[in-house]
Structure 1
Amino acid sequence: MTFLVTGAAGFVGSTLCDQLLAEGHTVRGLDAFVPYYAPALKRRNIVAAQTHPNYQFFEVDLRTDALAKYFENVDVVYHLAAMPGLVASWTEFDLYMNCNVLATQRLLEAARKHSGLKRFIYASTSSVYGKFASGDESLMTKPVSPYGVTKLAGENLCRAYMDSFDLPLVVLRFFSVYGPRQRPDMAYNKFIKALIQDEPITVFGDGQQVRGNTFIEDCVRATQLASAAPAGETYNVGGGEMATVYDILQKLETIAGKKFRIKVEAARDGDQRHTFADTTKLRKHLNWTPQVSLNEGLARQYSWQLQASAMM
């Protein structure tokens, strides 16, 4: 099969591309290298893929560039490109609107004109549920950050194209994905970096915020399986283990054999308080279950970051 992956140089996107290539598929990757974090890190993510004969990579901006030509012979689209992050979305709303809504609309326009498309997979987020994101897909969507608002707008755009043009849509709502290649702005990456470099960390609020954690390999496997899901479905993607911020810090201290130096600051606007994915539907429809425990996943991310820091 031939897959088109947007956000192909990012955390989830690059890992997905590597797995698709390993299984013998043809992959066309698109990424604009928007400098939310260092583009050099994203380019490093795709070094191995770019040596593969079944991989084509194009530096493309979904907001402005012509897109139709990238759909030639494509069976499945994985739309992973987005501007992430809760905090910055308050001050850079135009950027989030353009990257998460306008870019999605332009991609959908190109997709609807491609008659051979079997599935269009839209990667969404638990942030669409709001401050308390624990339950199944029937939870009310009530985002509390501009980021969550723009991702929900992207979902609704996709559904409009499904209803009007028979777009074979599947929506995935990711819950707290972590592991090798995690973005440097994400909490676990920051925590591990601080341990390696013996730097202090900041805990926002009381540290009792709960997350349901999803290891990158489990997330990618669910994303792949979505290409065989019934069109029109929405699925939560979560790893099945809850932990507070302080739980994670204790686990990382055990892995690293050293203690954190912690500063405490006020909770941030738009932060979620409690997230945990009910993945019953994903399990029933696609026979998916998470395979990597939180302890193992954190150890693997720590090892990856330790090795990466030694190379810098």
Structure 2
Amino acid sequence: MRVLVTGGAGYLGYSLTNYLNELGDISEVIVYDNLSRVHPNFFLGSKKLNKTTFIKGDILNTDKLIKILKNIDVVYHLAAHTPFPKNHLENFRYEQINQWGTLNVVNAIKRVETVKKIIFLSTSAVYGNRHEISPEAVPQPQNAYSKSKYEAEKYVKALSEKCEINVIRSGNIFGYNLCFRLDAVINNFIFESIVNKKIQIYGNGKQMRPFIHIDTLCMYLVDLLEDFSTSQTTKTIADFNSNLNQIKQILLDNLPELEYIYLNQNLSFDSHSLHKSLLLDKGQETLIKKSFLNFKNHIRIK
């Protein structure tokens, strides 16, 4: 089995590629990435990826995509524009990369015969700012980023007669690897607490989000390789819901000398959370502590 991972040199791609490289059923993993984030850490680490090939390329390059897709069995489509904060200044890039870039991937897949499955990483943000979002909830995207991902879902689902489709609406990803993102709130809090012994909380800290550890998500994505059918599935997953105050308290328990400051504490921000039936029932405190220790063990200062 040959697997293509678009955006594979990014944060999630780094860990997912490590998992895929170890699978006996996979003969080759091709990482296709334009390196727009200028993150050379993907190429670092003690583990040799003997089944993995890196190809620099853009999902907007149709001819190159078609060439790379030949003899590919499974596509993990992770490539996306995801800067923080998600605001109107990035609207064009969201539309260009997340929406039209995905359409380009879909059209390229239509022109090759071998692809049997596409696994597309979407976001739980497509549901908008609501609490206890149920499995039956209808998406109501409320910003340019979530709208671009929801439109991208529609393009991917147009492949239903071509191959199996798995759309994964993930919570906010956190956890350590060499390509970790500091604009992920838990990663940012952990990094700042270890390096600066201080974190900043915007607003009153009550804003709620669903979160998923990067290892949890990778294992779920890898498990999707076990079953090939003509089905089309959309799955929303996260480990737990949490607000910033709860995350702060867990970090305080692990680092009592931690300082924290609230900026504009009188402000409240929009929240969204998932119904417990969509949560994987992984312990919030356990997973945040695991991430804290992983960061601490890899940071080279006392």
TM-score class, shorter: 0.7 to 0.9
Match 1:30 to one of 28, 32, 45: 32
CA gap of 1:222–1:214, structure 2 versus 1, over 3 A, is same
Q: State the partner residue of 2:290.
A: 300
State the alpha-carbon separation in 2 of the partners of residues 112 and 279 from structure 1.
Answer: 35
Q: State the partner residue of 1:204.
A: 202
Whether 2:53 is the aligned partner of 1:56: answer yes
Match 1:151 to one of 149, 155, 166: 149
**1:122 aligned counterpart, secondary structure:** strand
Match 2:42 to one of 38, 41, 45: 45
Q: State the partner residue of 2:168.
A: 172
State the alpha-carbon separation in 1 of the partners of residues 140 and 275 from structure 2.
Answer: 16
Q: Contact conserved, 2:18 with 2:49, CA < 8 A, in 1?
A: no
State the alpha-carbon separation in 1 of the partners of residues 294 and 159 from structure 2.
Answer: 40
Q: Percent identity?
A: 22
State the alpha-carbon separation in 2 of the partners of residues 229 and 86 from structure 1.
Answer: 35
Q: Contact conserved, 2:6 with 2:78, CA < 8 A, in 1?
A: yes
Whether 2:241 is the aligned partner of 1:242: answer yes
How big is each residue's C-alpha offset from its partner over 1:76-107, in whole Å with a ceiling of 9 and x where there is no partner? 11101111145244112111111101211111
C-alpha deviation, 1:183, in angstroms: 0.9
State the alpha-carbon separation in 2 of the partners of residues 114 and 146 from structure 1.
Answer: 31
Extract structure 1 runs of 4+ deviating beyond 4 A: 266-269, 277-280
Letter in 1 for 2:254: I
Q: Contact conserved, 1:205 with 1:266, CA < 8 A, in 2?
A: yes
- Greater shift, 179-188 or 229-238, is seen at 229-238
CA gap of 1:277–1:72, structure 2 versus 1, over 3 A, is farther
Q: Contact conserved, 1:192 with 1:305, CA < 8 A, in 2?
A: yes
C-alpha deviation, 1:9, in angstroms: 1.4
State the alpha-carbon separation in 1 of the partners of residues 236 and 298 from structure 2.
Answer: 31
Q: State the partner residue of 2:113.
A: 115
**2:299 aligned counterpart, secondary structure:** helix
**1:51 aligned counterpart, secondary structure:** coil
Q: TM-score, normalised by structure 1?
A: 0.85
CA gap of 1:220–1:267, structure 2 versus 1, over 3 A, is farther
Q: Contact conserved, 2:123 with 2:168, CA < 8 A, in 1?
A: yes
CA gap of 1:95–1:266, structure 2 versus 1, over 3 A, is farther
Q: Contact conserved, 1:121 with 1:172, CA < 8 A, in 2?
A: yes
How many aligned residue pairs are there? 294
CA gap of 1:133–1:27, structure 2 versus 1, over 3 A, is farther
C-alpha deviation, 1:277, in angstroms: 5.2
How big is each residue's C-alpha offset from its partner over 1:196-242, in whole Å with a ceiling of 9 and x where there is no partner? 22264332232112223211111111112233275211001111x33
Match 1:142 to one of 140, 143, 163: 140
Q: State the partner residue of 2:185.
A: 187
State the alpha-carbon separation in 2 of the partners of residues 272 and 146 from structure 1.
Answer: 15
Consecutive unaligned residues of structure 1, counting only runs of 5 or more, are 284-288
State the alpha-carbon separation in 2 of the partners of residues 69 and 114 from structure 1.
Answer: 9
- Equivalences for 1:101-112 in 2 at 5 Å? 101-112=99-110
